[in-house]
Amino acid sequence: MTTFDQLNKDVNNNELESSKFLTFADVPSGLLEAIMSYLSYKDSIRASAVCKAWRKAAVAVRVAEKYPWVVSFPKRGDSVYLFDPLERKMYTLNLPEIAGTNVCCSKDGWLLMRRSSFVDLFFFNPYTRELISLPKCELSFQAIAFSSAPTSGTCVVVALRPVRRDAIAISIWNLGACEWVAKEFTCSLGFDPYMHSNLLYANDHFYCFDLGGVLLSFDPASSTVNCESWDEHRCPYLHNDEWLGLPKRIYLVEQRGELFLMYTCGNERPMVYKLVSSKWEEISSAAALNGLTIFASLYSSETRVDVPVMRNRVYFPRYGLHNNQCVSYSFDQGRFYPRKPLLKPINLWGMQPELCPLQSIWIEPPSKTFLDGLM
């Protein structure tokens, strides 16, 4: 045997001998942290139980998913209120740029605002105070949403207005365009022009769900509309006179591309459904939610997974009713917090406070640096 062959044999034997004593704890810390950074919050907790080395790596990179805050716009003045629903802290922002405007949508820390003229729209970031104007939108709309931050380079804004039960008008604005493109589409299945969900962007499409069980899908890339109907899935709160005088709302949200539908009716339990293989399956227990939290609002809703203390809940942007806490519904406990979030109307047509005030919406939380500047 040559010297070279003997050297290879010795090296291989040493490697085999050493490998007998290797454990998970021997994986380099840098590699462990890189692996742990891809885990969800729940899986990161589970991985922490393997050994001390894994626990150290998991804790080093573990970041609980940030939950959104409420931003509210008073009817008068130029002060805006920013509310942390978990810490129950409120901050006041002086933003004269948006005095006298209405909020339309929120995404990625940006707000889509509308002036009282209805045709003047602009993006606004309340943390950087950056303002980006849009061309005048001559078509009135009932729902509007945008795909991504206006600084992303791929932003698309879509405004929807049902013309009649068998037709809808859609206006599209692409980033950098000088004008909106308006088109009318036929909806053979019909679409309720008076009661429908928020407009939701997910899976490169814009979605909207109506009271009669029709899901409208718009593809901005091909400028095509598709409708699907679930006759058995009309709003369940329509068929009982007990709920006749109570405000009913429809919310459409997504989590990692999966669609969730929610109905609310006054103080009644929120009814949540998940679209699975072209069928809406009701989520009636906390176990079925699997750590999901829904942050509902009339114009744009958010979801998060495995946020500590907030798991298996629906949060609404109404706060200040009891110790400055947001109204929420816990599927674990099967009740609202506070226990009686809304007063019942005195008579059939009495007015009841909304769980989602018109001028309140969820927004990405500010950075610590921004908050330090408010102190």
Q: Band of the pLDDT at 20, cuts 50, 70, 90? A: low
**What mean pLDDT comes out for the span 78-104?**
92
Q: Band of the pLDDT at 3, cuts 50, 70, 90? A: very low
- Residue pLDDT, tens place only, 120-134: 999 999 999 999 999
Contact criterion met (CB below 8 Å) for 105 and 113: no
Report the alpha-carbon distance of residue 109 to residue 124 in Å, rounded: 9
Asked if pLDDT for residue 244 goes beyond 80, the answer is no
Nearest to 47 by CA among 64, 307, 39, 311: 39
Every domain of the chain with CATH number 2.120.10 lies at: 69-374
Q: Band of the pLDDT at 25, cuts 50, 70, 90? A: low
User: What pLDDT does residue 314 have?
Assistant: 97
Report the alpha-carbon distance of residue 105 to residue 111 in Å, rounded: 6
User: What pLDDT does residue 343 have?
Assistant: 58
- Residue pLDDT, tens place only, 256-295: 999 999 999 888 889 999 999 889 999 988 888 999 999 9
Q: How far is CA 238 from CA 234, 252, 314, in A?
A: 8, 18, 22
Contact criterion met (CB below 8 Å) for 216 and 223: no
User: What pLDDT does residue 150 have?
Assistant: 96
**What mean pLDDT comes out for the span 348-373?**
82
Nearest to 296 by CA among 231, 213, 233, 357: 357
Report the alpha-carbon distance of residue 347 to residue 351 in Å, rounded: 9
User: What pLDDT does residue 241 have?
Assistant: 67
Nearest to 298 by CA among 320, 313, 281, 318: 318
Radius of gyration of the chain (CA): 25
- Residue pLDDT, tens place only, 137-183: 877 899 999 999 999 999 999 999 988 888 999 999 999 999 999 99
CATH number assigned to the domain covering 69-374: 2.120.10
Handedness of CA 116, 117, 119, 121 (dihedral sign): negative
- Residue pLDDT, tens place only, 197-231: 999 999 999 999 998 899 999 999 999 999 999 87
Q: How far is CA 28 from CA 23, 25, 34, 157, in A?
A: 11, 8, 10, 46
**What mean pLDDT comes out for the span 61-71?**
81
- Residue pLDDT, tens place only, 294-346: 999 999 999 999 888 899 999 999 987 566 889 999 999 999 998 776 655 54
User: What pLDDT does residue 77 have?
Assistant: 79
Neighbours of 273 (CB within 10 A): 20
Contact criterion met (CB below 8 Å) for 106 and 112: yes
Contact criterion met (CB below 8 Å) for 336 and 328: yes
User: What pLDDT does residue 39 have?
Assistant: 76
User: What pLDDT does residue 78 have?
Assistant: 84
Q: Quote the tokens at residue 115.
A: 């002036």
Report the alpha-carbon distance of residue 348 to residue 246 in Å, rounded: 8
Report the alpha-carbon distance of residue 96 to residue 79 in Å, rounded: 7
Structure-model confidence comparison of residues 74 and 207, the more confident one: 207
Asked if pLDDT for residue 363 goes beyond 90, the answer is yes
Report the alpha-carbon distance of residue 251 to residue 355 in Å, rounded: 12
What's the angle, vertex CA 190, arms to CA 185 and CA 191, rounded to 5? Answer: 80
